[in-house]
């Protein structure tokens, strides 16, 4: 079955602008509005299987965008470094220590 995971929601946040309106509609009904496949099928008067296939294909598309652009991966790395940086600043750490983390941040485009 489809998994309503946070990962897919994150990928959707990053890449939904690259999807068609129909792909976005099904994804939002299923993942954001928590409609079931059956409910979407009734709502749009298409088979449950068609809804399932569409969502499954869109998920694969989102994963393929991530393999190419790595926006989710970079976002996670960046957030981790920002948290580290915040800790270092709050603890009044050495400037050289802080600059090291900032260099790493700058290297993530």
Can you tell me the distance from the alpha carbon of 28 to that of 32, in angstroms, rounded to the nearest whole number?
5
User: Which range touches its own copies (CB under 8 A), out of 1-9, 13-21, 30-38, 43-51?
Assistant: 13-21
CB of 52 or CB of 65, closer to its own copies: 65
Can you tell me the distance from the alpha carbon of 14 to that of 8, in angstroms, rounded to the nearest whole number?
10
Asked if 6 is part of the footprint of its own copies (rule: CB under 8 A), the reply reads: no
Residues 6+ apart with CB under 8 A from 12: 27, 31, 62
CB of 25 or CB of 39, closer to its own copies: 25
Binding track, positions 16-55, relative to its own copies; x by CB under 8 A: -xx-------------------------------------
């Amino acid at each position: 079955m489809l998994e309503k995971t946070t990962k897919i929601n994150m990928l959707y946040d990053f890449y939904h602008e690259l999807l068609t309106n129909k792909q976005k509609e099904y994804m939002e009904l299923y993942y954001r509005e928590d409609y079931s496949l059956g409910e979407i099928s009734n709502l749009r008067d298409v088979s449950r299987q068609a809804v399932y296939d569409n969502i499954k294909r869109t998920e694969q598309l989102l994963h393929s965008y991530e393999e190419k652009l790595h926006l989710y991966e970079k976002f996670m790395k960046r957030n981790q470094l920002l948290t580290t940086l915040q800790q270092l600043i709050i603890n009044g750490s050495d400037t050289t220590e802080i600059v090291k983390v900032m260099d790493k941040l700058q290297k993530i485009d």
